[in-house]
Structure 1
Amino acid sequence: MDHRFSELSRHMQEQHLRSLALSILKQYGAMPDSVQLLQYEDNAVYLVVRNGKSYVLRISVVDGRSPAAQASELEWLLSLAAEKTTVVPTPVATRSSELVVTSALNGSDEPVTSALFEWIPGAAPRHFGPELAAELGRVMARLHEHASGYRPSAPFERPAWGHQEVFDLGATMTSELAWSRLTSADRSMLREVSKKVRDRMPTVGDDWALIHADLHRGNVVVMPTGEVAVIDFDDCGWGHYMLDIATMLSSILRTCLDDRDEYARLAAEYLAGYREVRNLPASSSALNEFLVLRDMIILNFMVSSRNDAVVAYMPQRGNGILALMCRYLRTGLYDGFVSLEV
C-alpha cells in the first residue's frame, strides 16, 4: 500500500526525494557525478557536481511556491546578476529552456517545483567582525537600492511580509497543528503582541518593495576572494526594508548573545555600512516591531512544521521567542534593539 509522503519516516522521505532529484536532473543533460543532500526542511537542497562544475538543486517539498512565484524569484535574481548588484545564485535552464521544473512526488497530492543554480564557492560566516558587519550593511543597502528602481514584469507573484500576512494569516493564528503546540495563554499573549505591533507599524509607503526576507548569516557566503554573496531568495517578496535590516541584526545578535557590548559595536558597523550606500528607511523608527515581526515569522515556521529536524529545535527556540514577546508587551522593547541615531 502506498503511504502519504508526509507520513513517511525522514529516511524514507529522503530516499524518495533523491530519486526525484535524479529524475529532475535528467532534464539538464548528462547525469551528474555526485548528488549530496545539504539541507532538508521545507526545501530539499542538493549539491550537484557534473564535469567538475558544481550546482545547487532546490526542490520545494512542503507548501512550495507556485511555478509562477518561483519564476518571479528567478526573474529578480537575473536582474540582480545582470546589474552586478551583488553576487547572487545564477539560475540554470533545462535543455528545453525552462528555469522552473514541475514534478510529481509519490505520496503527495500536490506537484513540487524545483530550480537549479550555479554554485557559489565559499562558506557562511561563523562569526561577525566589524569589517564583515559593515560589508553586510553595504550589501543589504545595494539590494534595497536595486529594489527601489526595479520594475518587474507582469504578472509577478511573490508573497507579502506585512503585519496581516505574518500575524493574522500566519500559521500561529490559523493552523490547528500550531495550536496544538501552543497553550491558550501563548495564543492570547500573541494576539496582544499582534495588536501592539499593528498599532506601531508604518503603513505601506516608499520603503515597501521587494526584499530578501530571510537574509541572515546562513544565507551569506564569504567567497575565497573575500567578496560577499547572498543566497536563498526563496522567501523574497514584498515588505518593508526594515524587516531585512531587523533580520540581519537578529542574526548578528545570535552570534554574541553573551557579549552585548560586542553586539552593539557590530550593529553600529552594520548600520554605518548601510548608510554608506543609502539612508536608513523612514520606517526605522519601528525597529522594535520589525524585530518582533522577524521572530514571528520564525515562530510561524516552527510551530507548523512536520519536519523532524525543525521540531527537534522548536521547544528551546520557540520558548525563547515567546519569552521575548512577553517582555515586549511589558516594555515595548525587543531583543536586538539599538539606537539608530548617527
Structure 2
Amino acid sequence: MASIHDSELKRILQEYGINAPQISLIRHNENLTYKIIDTSLQHSYLFRVHHPITKNMEGLQHTKEGVHCELALLQDMTEETDLIVQEPVQTHSSQLITKYSFIADQSIYCSLLKWIEGRNLQREDFSNRELVTKLGVQLAHLHKYFKGLIHNDITQSRPHYGRNKNENMLAHIYKGVEKGLFRGHEYDIIVQTVELIHSRLFGNKENADDWGIIHGDLNMGNILVTEKEEIAFIDFGLFGYGHYLLDVAMGALNTTPETRDIFLKAYFGNTTYSKDILLIVEGFMLISIMGYYANQMENEEVHPWIRERMPLLCKLHCKPFLNGESILYNF
C-alpha cells in the first residue's frame, strides 16, 4: 500500500471534523504519514496510517490495542507533564482511532495528532553545547515520567525490547546473507556481538530498575527543535518496554564524538555512570544500527547501502567491541 486515495483520506478526516483539508504525503516507513492542514481554521495535524512499508516491520504497535496504548500515553503526557508531545485528536464520536479497509477482509488503523511546529534536529546542531545539554536533560525528564507508570498494559500491547526482539532481528539480518548483500562470516560477527551484549544485559548484574517504558526510536528525525529552541520528542510509534539505556544509546548516536560526554552528563545529572554502564550504551548503539538493517532488509532501495555498510560495521565497530576496545567515540 503506497498511499491512500485522497477521496478516502478526506472521508476519514471528516470523522475528525476536518472538511477542507490540504493533504501532503510525508513518508512511509513504520507508518504511512501525512501532514494535514485544515484550511478552514488553519490548524495543522499529523495523520498516520498504522501500516509499515515492509512486512517485517509489523508488530504489536500496529494492532488496535497497540495503537490505542500509544495514543493513551500521549494523552496522559499532554495532561500530566510539561513535555512537548503530539496530542491525539478525537473523532466526533470521541474515538482516538479510525479504521481503514484497504482490502475486503483486512483493516488497518489510523490516528490524528496535533502538529508541533519545529524543525528536525540536524547534525550541525551538535556544535551547540547548550542544545546537546537540553537533549540529555529532556530525555532524563521523559524517563523520570515513564518510571512512574504501570507497565502491565504496555508489556501486553507494545513491543518488548529484550532478548527475543534481538534474536528476531538476527533472523531478519540473516536474510542479507541469503540475498547476497554480505557474507556469512560477517553475519557470524554480528551474532557474536549480540551474544556479548546479551551476556552483559541478562547476567548476574541485571537490575529490574533499569527496565521500563522507553521511546524506542530516538533518531534525529524524531527529535524536534521548536522556535523557542526547546526539545520535543515525536513519533512514539515504536515505544514499548525495554532498557532505559537503549534510548540513551540512540540519543548518543545522534551526537558527535566531541559532544557525546556533554549529552551523557546532562542525562545522568549528578548520578555517576560507571564503565559498565558505558559498555551497555555501546552495545545498544550497535543494536540500534543492526535494528535499522533488519527493518530495511526487504526494502530493495536500501540494499546498496547495506551492501556497502555491513562490512564496515563489522570491521570498524563490532570487531573492536568484541576485542574489548571502547567504541563509544567511534561513531
TM normalised by structure 2 equals 0.83
In structure 1, runs of 5+ residues without a counterpart are 6-12, 254-262
Q: Does 1:38 align with 2:12?
A: no
Contact 2:182/2:310, CA 8 A, preserved across alignment:
no
| SS of residue in 2 equivalent to 1:113 | strand
Provide the residue aligned with 1:201 in structure 2: 201
| SS of residue in 2 equivalent to 1:48 | strand
Provide the residue aligned with 1:234 in structure 2: 237
Identity of aligned residues (%): 23
Provide the residue aligned with 1:116 in structure 2: 112
Mean Cα deviation higher: 268-277 or 95-104 = 268-277
Q: CA deviation at 1:289?
A: 1.4
| SS of residue in 2 equivalent to 1:303 | coil
Provide the residue aligned with 1:28 in structure 2: 16
Q: Does 1:101 align with 2:98?
A: yes
Provide the residue aligned with 1:58 in structure 2: 48
Change beyond 3 A, Cα 1:36–1:335: farther
**Aligned mate of 1:221, from 220, 224, 235:** 224
| SS of residue in 2 equivalent to 1:25 | helix
Q: CA deviation at 1:140?
A: 0.4
Change beyond 3 A, Cα 1:326–1:223: closer
Q: Deviations over 1:62-108 (max 9, x none)?
A: 2261110111111221222222241011011111211122211249x
1:240-319 correspondence to structure 2 within 5 Å:
240-253=243-256, 263-264=257-258, 266-276=259-269, 283-305=277-299, 308=301, 310-311=302-303, 313-319=305-311
Provide the residue aligned with 2:55 in structure 1: none
| SS of residue in 2 equivalent to 1:68 | helix
Mean Cα deviation higher: 134-143 or 276-285 = 276-285
Change beyond 3 A, Cα 1:233–1:205: same
Provide the residue aligned with 1:173 in structure 2: 171
Q: For residues 290 and 321 of structure 2, what CA distance do their matches in structure 1 show?
A: 14
Q: Deviations over 1:217-254 (max 9, x none)?
A: 2111111122211101011111111110100111113x
In structure 2, runs of 5+ residues without a counterpart are 53-57
Moved over 6 A (4+): none
Change beyond 3 A, Cα 1:70–1:311: farther
**Aligned mate of 1:68, from 65, 68, 72:** 65
Provide the residue aligned with 2:78 in structure 1: 81
Q: Which amino acid aligns with 2:261?
A: A
| SS of residue in 2 equivalent to 1:169 | helix
Change beyond 3 A, Cα 1:223–1:315: same
Change beyond 3 A, Cα 1:89–1:313: farther
Number of residue pairs matched by the alignment: 311
Q: Which amino acid aligns with 2:132?
A: A
Q: CA deviation at 1:163?
A: 3.1
Change beyond 3 A, Cα 1:303–1:21: same
Contact 2:182/2:307, CA 8 A, preserved across alignment:
no
Q: For residues 324 and 32 of structure 1, what CA distance do their matches in structure 2 show?
A: 52
CA RMSD of aligned residues (A): 2.7
Provide the residue aligned with 1:139 in structure 2: 138
Q: Deviations over 1:165-189 (max 9, x none)?
A: 12x122x415785442443223322
Q: For residues 333 and 74 of structure 1, what CA distance do their matches in structure 2 show?
A: 42
| SS of residue in 1 equivalent to 2:296 | helix
